[in-house]
Amino acid sequence: MEYLRNERKHIVYSIILGVVGSLIGISIFAMSGYMISLSFFEPPIFVILLIIAVIKLFGMMKGGLKYLERLLSHNSTFKLISRVRTQYFESSLNSGKDMHSVRFIQTLSRYFEDIEDYYITIIYPYVVAVLLSIAVILLSALINPALVVTALVLALIMLVLLPFVFSIWNGRIDAEYRVLDENAFLKTYQFIHGFTDLFVDNKDKAVQNEISGQLDAIRRNKNKDSLKEAVIELITGSAQIGTIVLIILLMQGGDIFLIPMLILLVISYFEVLALVVEPTSRFFNTHQKVGEIERPAGETGDGEISSGGSIRLEAVSYKYPAGAYDALSKVTMNVDAGERHAIIGSSGSGKTTLLNQIIGEREMAVMPQHLDFYNATIRENLTMFGHFRAADEEIEHLLAEFELDHFKLDDYVYFTGQLSGGEKKRLHLVRMMLEDKDWWLLDEPSAKLNQSLQEKVWRKIFETDTVIVSTHDLSHLHHFDVIHFMEAGQIIESGSYEALMAREGAAAEAVKRYTEYL
């Protein structure tokens, strides 16, 4: 971890404080057991009072050391997370990731929780447990050589064997969960945003049943995780009881009065070990996620995208970070200047992902799914703070054309949610017209608009030289030169409107369902 170096001083200090605090905690239990044994010999009262005073003093010291240790370790962790989060966000901006995607937000939240676990509950406690085990082994050598072997074997089992075994189990559970979570997310997204298509095709009940089945599978996966934790607790408890019994047997021929002290010492020692086994078993999975965060570009893809007077996609595949499947698979698509291309298909088929791959290949005006407006005036938002040159009269004419004349150019947009979905669509279209590009790329341009406004938007789109549109509105497909039908990340049909209708394939079936639904 490269970021570990920046806070190494605080981390080393927190480890030292953690080890000392754990030793003091064990000493408190050990002295309590020793006092129990000593009482059998009826020692002077001041000896008992002295031990009690030392126990009290150690208790206060343990609390103070614990506070300082947590202060240093959490301070270091939060600085680390802040630095990694900032670096990841900056690299995402540079790599052109979809900042609105649920997967991006999920990475910023859940993955960074894993990073917090990586430092606070895995690395730091494990190092403390190892150093504490070394101290216990050295202490055992002063009492009974047989205890050295016992302590060494116990440390190897609790700190090496069990974490390794359960890491394999945990890896299978986590891998299964990621696939289930990915599939459930996609099916739910498809059900919500593509309900009309599913209803028209009479597949809504089937998809709903699939979602219920996947949620049941996720619950079963969580039950496996709970079972793993229960097994760890059972093994740890059994090891603790077995160690206590073994100590009693080993000490029968020696200093019997040390048995209460050793029993309480073992109980305190296991409190440290028990907290390490389960988190350490997650080390490899968490380390992999940390690596995904640290890499500048988390997406994976192959194929070739080229541009000049046209755009060429040749066998392009694409997978989102931690994705269980290819969002795009071997997609080939050619767009020449002056052509109009439509991309259709149900929600979740990969249309938006395909558009995201095309963006940036050449100069074009873009209408993404999620539209943002700045905390600024209408004029500043439409001209991008004067970057697009336009007279006020021209802007006002365009606003009136798209029934937005209730906005004044000096009206202030305080937040994006202040605008309705239809207003954002039309304002962004005006922004694209002021940008004055020969190529337009639009994602659902007619969504959230009434019939009259939809027709105005489509007329303006078809006045543009070169257009690439992703849409669920199939009423204007006959105006496009090429139509691409997508399913499961692949283009399964491409051609002119007449050719696709004559073929009577998936595209023709979609148009038929759409017409019948209307």
Domain locations in the chain as residue ranges: 2-294, 300-517
**Which SS3 state, helix, strand or coil, does residue 486 take?**
strand
Q: What is the DSSP string of 174-195?
A: HHHHHHHHHHHHHHHHHHHHTH
Q: Round to whole Å and give the CA distance between 5 and 168.
A: 29
Residue in the structure block whose two tokens are 């966000």: 89
35-to-249, 311, 373 alpha-carbon distances in Å: 21, 83, 72
How deeply is 134 buried, as exposed, middle or buried, from its count of CB atoms within 10 A (0-12, 13-18, 19+)? middle
Is residue 395 a contact partner of residue 379, using CB atoms and an 8 Å limit? yes
Topology (CATH) of 300-517? Rossmann fold (3.40.50)
pLDDT at 294: 55
439-443 vs 365-367, strand pairing mode:
parallel
CA–CA distance, 499 with 508 (Å, rounded to integer): 10
Dihedral pair phi/psi, residue 177, rounded to 5°: -65, -40
Residue 8, SS3 per DSSP: helix
Residue whose C-alpha is closest to residue 283's, from 163, 155, 177, 133: 163
**Token duo for residue 175:** 């891998």
| Domain range 2-294, CATH architecture | Up-down Bundle (1.20)
Residue 329: its H or E element: strand 328-336
DSSP conformation class of 447: T
Look up tokens 């480890």; give the residue: 15
Q: State the sign of the Cα–Cα–Cα–Cα dihedral 67, 268, 225, 165.
A: positive
Burial 319-339 (b: 16+ CB within 10 A, else e): bbbbbeebbbbebebebeeeb
The pLDDT averaged over each successive group of 10 residues in the chain (518 residues) is 60 81 83 79 81 87 86 78 70 54 54 64 80 86 86 90 87 82 75 66 78 90 89 90 88 77 85 82 69 52 57 80 67 88 83 81 80 84 85 90 88 76 89 88 87 90 90 88 88 90 87 76
Question: Which tokens is 144 given?
Answer: 């009974």
Answer for the pair 85, 23: CB distance below 8 angstroms, yes or no: no
Interacting residues of 236 by C-beta distance below 8 A, sequence separation 6+ = 158, 270, 273, 274, 277
Specify the DSSP class assigned to residue 119: I
Q: What is the pLDDT of residue 368?
A: 85
What pLDDT, on a 0 to 100 scale, did the predictor assign at position 451? 86
* Upper half-sphere CA count for residue 87 (Cβ side, 13 Å): 18
* Closest to 445 in 3D by CA, of 463, 461, 434: 461
Alpha-helix runs per DSSP H in 295-366 = 351-358
Q: What is the CA radius of gyration of the chain?
A: 33
Contact between 195 and 150 (Cβ < 8 Å): no
Can you give the pLDDT at residue 468? 92
Compute the Cα dihedral for 465, 468, 474, 478 and give only its sign: positive
Q: What are phi and psi for residue 192, nearest 5 degrees?
A: -75, -50
pLDDT of 92: 61
- Residue pair 366/505 in contact by the 8 Å Cβ criterion: no
